[in-house]
Structure 1
C-alpha cells in the first residue's frame, strides 16, 4: 500500500510535562491550548503609505491546561500555583513540541461542583515559549 502522506493525530500520544512531572487526567475536549501573546512581526505605515517592519522578540505565551476535577495532577498544579514556583514545561506530540524553560501559573483553577465531573483549568504564563513542528 502506498504512503498517503497524511499524519494521524492521536491524543494518547500527547504528553505534558510540568516541572519534570507528567500531567494526567484531562477534561473532555481540549486537553491543552497554547498561544503567543503578541505577533512575531510589528508593522506600521507612515503618512505617505510606506510600510515598516520590526521583528518582535517577545516570546511570552499562554498555556491553558484543562484538567478533570478528579485528576491526580490537580493537587500538583494547585501546589505550584499556591507557591508561585517557576518551572519548565514541555508539550509534545508526534506533530509538534511546545516548550518554555521558565513558566509560572498565572491563574489557578476556578471551581464549581454539580452534576458532572468538575473541571479545573490552569493558565500558565510561559516566559520563553518555543513551538516546533516535527
Structure 2
C-alpha cells in the first residue's frame, strides 16, 4: 500500500509562458523564482500597544528566470526586451494544479550579465510584473 504522504515532483510539469511563448532551456537548480515586491500589510504598534495593519496596495512583483546561455529562449527574450512592450507572463505548476503566478502587465528589467568559461553559464532574466498574482 502506498504511503499517502509520498508525492512526486517533475520540473517538466512546470511551464513558463511569456507573451504566448513557452520558455525552454532552463539551468539546473532553482531556475524559476517568483516574489511579491512588498508585504501585503504594514504593522504599526502604537505607544500604548495598539496594533494597526495598513494595506500596502502594492501589487508589483518580480519573476526571475535562469536559463542556459544556449537556451533557444534567449534570443526571444532579447527581442522582447528590445521591443519595450508590455506583455503577459504566467507560471503554471501542473504537478499539483494548485499554483499559478504572473500577471498581464510585465516588462523585462534589463539584459542579463554574461560570463564565459569551460562550463555552460546561466542567464538571469528579471521580469517586472505590475499586476502580480499568485493563486
Query: How does the TM-score come out when normalised to structure 2?
Result: 0.91
Unpaired runs of at least 5, structure 2 = none
User: Which of residues 100, 116, 121 is equivalent to 1:118?
Assistant: 121
Once residues 7 and 104 of structure 2 are traced to their aligned partners in structure 1, the CA distance between those partners, rounded to angstroms, is 28
CA distance in 1, matches of 2:109, 2:19: 15
2:106 equivalent in structure 1: 103
For the residues of structure 1 that align with 2:124 and 2:133, how far apart are their CA atoms? Answer: 22
Number of aligned positions between the proteins: 132
Distance (whole Å) between structure 1 residues aligned to residue 40 and residue 82 of structure 2:
32
Change over 3 Å in CA distance of 1:6–1:100 after alignment to 2 = farther
Give the match for residue 72 of structure 2: 72
Question: Which of 119, 130, 133 is the equivalent residue of 2:133?
Answer: 130
* Aligned counterparts, 1:1-134, within 5 A: 1=1, 4-93=4-93, 94-95=95-96, 96-132=99-135
* Whole-angstrom distance in 1 between the partners of 2:18 and 2:54: 33
* Partners of 1:106 and 1:69 in 2: CA distance: 18
2: distance between equivalents of 1:58 and 1:8?
Answer: 35
| Secondary structure at the counterpart of residue 79 of structure 1 | helix
Report the alpha carbon displacement of residue 80 of structure 1 after superposing the two structures with TM. 1.3
**Aligned with 2:67: secondary structure?**
strand
In the TM superposition, what is the alpha-carbon distance from 1:26 to its structure 2 partner? 0.5
